[in-house]
C-alpha cells in the first residue's frame, strides 16, 4: 500500500517475479477496494498468491510512533511483518514509510540476541559490480561495538547475495591511515583486525571514493554518513543523466552522434539506474525485511522482492547468527563492555 504508487506498481512486480521464480508464493496485505482491481488484471497471479484485506494503510507521512500505536494488528504493514514472525512468510517487502516499517519490524521481530541496533543495508553499484553498504539510515551515530555488528551483518549479506566465501570489509573513514578518524572507528578497526574472522577479510579503512570503485565487498559506517552518501550518489546519477540528455540534444551533430552511440548510452543508463539495486535490507532482526524505494517502478520493486528471495534461499539469518556466535566466543569481553541505551520519548 505504500510508496508513491501503491498497488499499481506492486502487483505488476509480483507478476514479473513469479515469471522468473516459479517456486515463489505471495501473501498480499492491503485495502481490498484498491488491491482487487489491480489483481483482476492478472488472473494467473491468483494461482500463486493469497490476499488479505486490511482496514488501515500506514501513510507515508505518519510518525513511526503513531503508526505503531494506531496501526498495530490492523494495518497492512503490521500484518506483513507479523507474517514473517509467525512463519506464514519468509520475507516482508514494503515500499511504505521507512520509519514505521523499522519501528514495527523491531517491535514485532526483535533484534538478534547480541545486536544492539539494526542497520539498513543497501546494494551499491560499483565499477567492479556491487557492494553492500551499511548503515544507510537506521542508526545515527554508532560506537565501536555497533560498527563491528554492522560488519558482521554486512558480511553475512555479501556471502548470501554475492556468493563470496570471505568478503572484504572496509570501515568508511576520512582517510586510510590508522591514525585518522573518530575513536569509535579506530577502535572498531583494531578489534576487527585482531578478530581475524574466517568469514571476513578485513581490508582496513576506506574513503568515500572507494565506495564507487568497489574497493571492498562491504562498506561499514553509521547511518548519518551512510544516508548522506546514498542520497548524494542517487542525486549525482540523476545529475549526470541530465547533463547527457542536454548534451545529446544541443546540436544536430550531437543528435546524429547519439544515434550511433545509442547502445553505449543504453548500457550506461542501465548501470546508473538506481532501481536495479533497489531494496534496503533491515539487518540484525529475527526475520528478513526489505524496504523498497518509495519511488520505485515495477521493475525496481521486483528487484527488492528478488533480493529478499535470494537472502532466504541462501540462509542469510543462519549465516549471520553463526558469525555472531563465533565472534563473541572469541571476544567475550565485547558483550560485557557494551553500553546500555535506554531511550524515552515522552512527546511520542
pLDDT above 70: percentage of residues in the chain: 89
Same structural domain for residues 243 and 321? Answer: yes
Same structural domain for residues 47 and 87? Answer: yes
CA distances from 302 to 40, 47, 214, 341 (A): 19, 18, 24, 37
Same structural domain for residues 143 and 260? Answer: yes
Is the residue at 254 inside a domain? Answer: yes
Question: What's the mean pLDDT when you consider all of the chain?
Answer: 86
Same structural domain for residues 243 and 165? Answer: yes
Cα 210–Cα 328–Cα 159 angle in degrees, nearest 5: 45
Q: How many CB atoms lie within 10 A of CB 237?
A: 16
Same structural domain for residues 9 and 79? Answer: yes
**pLDDT confidence of residue 232:** 84
300-318 average pLDDT score: 92
Cell representation of residue 215: 574497493
pLDDT in tens, 187-236: 999 989 988 888 899 999 999 999 989 999 999 999 888 888 888 877 87
Of the residues 109, 144, 168, the one at which a domain ends = 109
DSSP H or E segment with residue 38: helix 32-39
pLDDT in tens, 53-95: 998 899 888 888 888 887 667 899 999 999 999 999 999 999 9
Q: What is the dihedral of CA 46, 51, 53, 56, to 10 degrees?
A: -120
Same structural domain for residues 102 and 120? Answer: no
Is the residue at 265 inside a domain? Answer: yes
pLDDT of residue 339 exceeding 80, the answer is no
pLDDT above 90: percentage of residues in the chain: 48
Domains in the chain: how many in total?
2
Of the residues 88, 109, 130, the one at which a domain ends = 109
Same structural domain for residues 74 and 181? Answer: no
Residues whose CB falls within 8 Å of the CB of residue 189, separated by 6 or more in sequence, listed in order? 171, 178, 202, 204, 205
pTM, full prediction? 0.84
Q: How many CB atoms lie within 10 A of CB 343?
A: 4
Is the residue at 347 inside a domain? Answer: no
**pLDDT confidence of residue 268:** 62
Same structural domain for residues 314 and 332? Answer: yes
Range of the domain at 320: 112-337
**pLDDT confidence of residue 40:** 92
Is the residue at 348 inside a domain? Answer: no
Q: Counting beta carbons within 10 angstroms of the beta carbon of residue 246, is it exposed (0 to 12), middle (13 to 18) or buried (19 or more)? A: exposed
Q: Which of 94-108, 218-232, 334-348 has the lowest mean pLDDT?
A: 334-348
Amino acid at each position: 500500500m505504500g510508496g508513491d504508487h501503491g498497488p499499481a506498481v506492486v502487483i505488476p512486480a509480483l507478476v514479473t517475479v513469479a515469471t522468473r521464480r516459479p517456486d515463489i508464493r505471495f501473501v498480499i496485505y492491503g485495502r481490498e477496494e484498491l488491491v482487487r482491481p489491480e489483481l483482476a488484471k492478472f488472473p494467473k497471479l491468483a494461482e500463486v498468491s493469497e490476499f488479505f484485506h486490511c482496514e488501515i494503510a500506514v501513510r507515508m507521512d505518519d510518525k513511526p510512533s503513531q503508526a505503531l500505536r494506531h496501526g498495530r494488528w490492523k494495518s497492512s504493514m503490521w500484518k506483513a511483518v507479523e507474517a514473517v514472525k509467525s512463519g506464514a512468510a519468509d520475507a516482508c517487502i514494503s515500499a511504505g514509510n521507512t520509519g514505521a516499517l523499522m519501528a514495527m519490524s523491531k517491535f514485532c521481530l526483535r533484534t538478534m540476541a547480541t545486536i544492539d541496533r539494526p542497520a539498513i543495508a543497501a546494494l551499491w553499484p560499483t565499477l567492479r559490480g556491487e557492494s553492500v553498504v551499511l548503515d544507510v539510515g537506521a542508526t545515527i551515530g554508532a560506537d565501536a561495538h555497533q560498527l563491528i555488528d554492522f560488519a558482521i551483518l554486512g558480511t553475512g549479506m555479501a556471502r548470501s547475495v554475492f556468493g563470496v566465501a570471505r568478503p572484504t570489509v572496509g570501515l568508511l573513514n576520512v582517510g586510510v591511515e590508522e591514525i585518522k578518524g573518530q575513536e569509535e572507528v579506530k577502535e572498531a578497526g583494531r578489534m576487527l583486525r585482531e578478530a581475524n574472522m574466517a568469514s571476513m577479510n578485513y581490508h582496513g579503512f576506506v574513503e568515500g571514493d572507494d565506495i564507487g570503485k568497489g574497493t571492498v565487498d562491504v562498506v561499514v559506517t553509521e547511518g548519518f554518513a551512510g544516508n548522506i552518501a546514498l542520497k548524494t550518489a542517487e542525486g549525482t546519477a540523476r545529475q549526470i543523466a541530465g547533463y547527457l540528455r542536454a548534451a545529446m540534444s544541443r546540436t544536430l551533430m550531437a543528435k546524429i552522434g547519439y544515434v550511433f552511440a545509442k547502445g553505449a548510452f543504453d548500457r550506461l543508463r542501465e548501470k546508473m539506474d538506481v532501481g536495479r539495486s533497489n531494496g534496503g535490507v533491515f539487518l540484525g532482526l529475527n526475520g528478513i525485511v526489505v524496504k523498497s524505494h518509495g519511488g520505485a517502478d515495477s521493475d525496481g520493486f521486483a528487484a527488492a522482492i528478488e533480493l529478499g528471495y535470494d537472502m532466504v534461499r541462501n540462509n542469510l539469518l543462519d549465516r549471520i547468527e553463526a558469525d555472531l556466535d563465533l565472534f563473541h566466543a572469541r571476544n567475550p569481553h565485547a558483550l560485557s563492555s557494551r553500553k546500555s541505551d535506554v531511550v524515552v520519548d515522552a512527546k511520542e
